[in-house]
């Protein structure tokens, strides 16, 4: 299958969620699957995988002769699913290593799209929550609250919070000295920064200054203070630690740190409160929306080659007006920690009261129209599929009523808000995915899952074993479930 440990880890973790298992264990997905073209039926392929993993056939104790010959028990080989997920995607269609968090988000997107075709509910709402953005104009003191649907919680890693900074500084100095001589320090000499998990939550709670903020209160640009909270708490919460960033030479690096992620996590401090007594809402923004920018994919490709998430790169190129790699890289450095950095990006924005704009060229629009669709349908589909012709045509068939309503101010009903779960903010760790290596485009992924008997099990491709001391401090993605579930 190529380098697919990132995919194995994500699918194994998703398979621990009851909603996922209950959905794809149904015989109906196999009965009504598109048997004329099964390779294009995502629900069918997920059902095959889910039912195979939960059948028990692949979890029996292996025969000694086979284990000696193969090194492990033969497992499920989801070739058709792997090809389907990668179809039309520049990164996931390759045999190169990929970022497991990017795959997680892309899988949820594919699942939602596939279930719309069958007028059914994708088993992803248990992971989704409403984030609350609060923006305060520094000139007027007036505020704006907006809610948006999110699939994961990104937590920044504050290196300055390390409790062993002196030891780390000494180690880095010795490492640089030895490497200058063309040598290497022994692996046993490695010193990782130890960062308390509480400092990650504290960093998330901090205000962010927004430059060039257009204030509708003063009808001009000023600065603003922005904070993010959770308006709802899902049954299952995927937490990403933002370990990948750029160094002083603008090269992507991974933070080799230890973070004492707890088995019990209380996120009550992240609870959003909405408009408070005495706060004054900013007037509706009447600023004219600027003309859309056609994103230069050559600049995007150069940034992606450096190891950054494609959607974040597209954001960077868009927000710097195609002014070059250096400007876009600067934007990436400033915004890598943004919660929506890796989320799907549509140029032109998604302002309340206005539709997203289509930035596809006339040739691309014409290709879609040549299939018998109107220009309006073509532009609508392209702006919702990142200008991908094949996905745009599929989007038209799966959205006979057109686009969903756009997002609105906090307090009004949001798309998907009626389906997300909400409840207590206390969680228990149920699984985590670890990455071994210095870059998201190299190395190896494994996952650890907590069984019903309380034992931790490691899934390393098709090698499965009890983990006596799971390295929770070295994880990258953590799946928490609401306490008591």
Give the separation between CA 260 and CA 194, rounded to whole angstroms: 8
444: annotated active-site residue:
yes
Nearest C-alpha neighbor of 59 from the set 470, 463, 452, 468? 463
Separation in Å, CA 83 to CA 1, 38, 345, 435? 9, 12, 24, 23
5: annotated active-site residue:
yes
Residue 295: CB partners within 8 Å, gap ≥ 6?
Answer: 314, 317, 318, 322, 347, 359
Could you tell me how far CA 201 lies from the centroid of its own chain? 18
Q: Report strand pairing: 463-467 vs 257-259.
A: unpaired
Catalytic option among 89, 335, 399, 444: 444
Return left, alpha or beta for 182; rule: phi > 0 is left, psi -120 to 50 is alpha, else beta: left
Catalytic option among 5, 23, 126, 358: 5
Q: What are the tokens at 482? A: 């609401």
Give the separation between CA 396 and CA 458, rounded to whole angstroms: 42
Q: What are the tokens at 34? A: 């598109």
Give the separation between CA 145 and CA 67, rounded to whole angstroms: 58
Look at residue 210 and give its three-state secondary structure.
Answer: strand
343 phi and psi angles, rounded to 5 deg? -75, 155
Active site positions, annotated:
5, 444
């Amino acid at each position: 299958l190529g380098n697919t440990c990132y995919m194995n880890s994500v699918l194994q973790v998703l398979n621990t969620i009851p909603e996922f298992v209950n959905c794809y264990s149904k015989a109906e997905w196999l009965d009504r699957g598109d048997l004329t073209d099964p390779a294009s039926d995502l629900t069918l392929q997920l059902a095959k995988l889910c039912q195979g993993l939960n059948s028990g056939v692949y979890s029996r104790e292996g025969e000694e002769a086979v284990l000696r010959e193969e090194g492990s028990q033969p497992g499920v080989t989801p070739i058709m699913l792997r090809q389907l997920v990668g179809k039309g995607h520049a990164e996931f269609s390759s045999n190169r290593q990929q970022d497991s968090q990017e795959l997680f988000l892309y899988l949820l997107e594919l699942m939602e799209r596939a279930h719309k075709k069958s007028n059914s509910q994708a088993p992803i709402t248990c992971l989704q929550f409403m984030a609350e953005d609060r923006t305060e104009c520094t000139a007027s003191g007036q505020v704006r609250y907006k809610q948006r649907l999110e699939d994961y919680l990104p937590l920044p890693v504050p290196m300055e919070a390390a409790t062993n900074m002196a030891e780390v500084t000494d180690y880095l100095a010795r490492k640089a000295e030895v490497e200058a001589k063309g040598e290497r320090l022994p692996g046993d000499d490695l010193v990782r920064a130890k960062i308390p998990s509480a400092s990650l939550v504290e960093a998330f709670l901090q205000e962010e200054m927004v430059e060039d903020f257009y204030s509708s209160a003063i009808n001009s640009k000023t600065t603003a203070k922005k904070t993010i909270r959770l308006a709802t708490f899902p049954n299952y919460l995927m937490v990403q630690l933002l370990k990948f960033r750029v160094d002083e030479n603008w090269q992507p690096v991974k933070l080799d740190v230890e973070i004492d992620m707890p088995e019990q996590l209380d996120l009550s401090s992240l609870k959003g409160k909405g408009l408070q007594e005495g706060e004054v809402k900013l007037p509706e923004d009447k600023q004219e929306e600027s003309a859309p920018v056609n994103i230069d994919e050559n600049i995007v490709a150069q940034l992606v080659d450096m190891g950054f998430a494609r959607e974040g790169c597209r954001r960077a190129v868009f927000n710097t007006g195609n002014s070059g790699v250096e400007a876009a890289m600067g934007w990436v450095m400033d915004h890598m920690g943004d919660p929506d950095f890796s989320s799907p990006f549509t140029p032109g924005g998604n302002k309340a009261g206005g539709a997203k704009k289509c930035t596809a060229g006339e040739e691309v629009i014409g290709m879609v129209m040549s299939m018998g669709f109107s220009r309006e349908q073509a532009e609508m589909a392209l702006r919702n599929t990142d200008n991908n012709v094949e996905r745009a045509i599929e989007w038209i068939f799966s959205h006979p009523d057109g686009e969903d309503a756009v997002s609105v101010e906090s307090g009004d009903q949001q798309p998907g808000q009626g389906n997300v779960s909400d409840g207590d903010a206390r969680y228990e760790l149920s699984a985590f995915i670890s990455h071994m290596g210095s870059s998201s485009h190299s190395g190896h992924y494994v996952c650890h899952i907590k069984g019903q008997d309380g034992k931790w099990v490691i899934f390393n491709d098709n090698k499965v074993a009890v983990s006596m001391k799971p390295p929770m401090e070295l994880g990258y993605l953590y799946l928490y479930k609401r306490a008591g579930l």
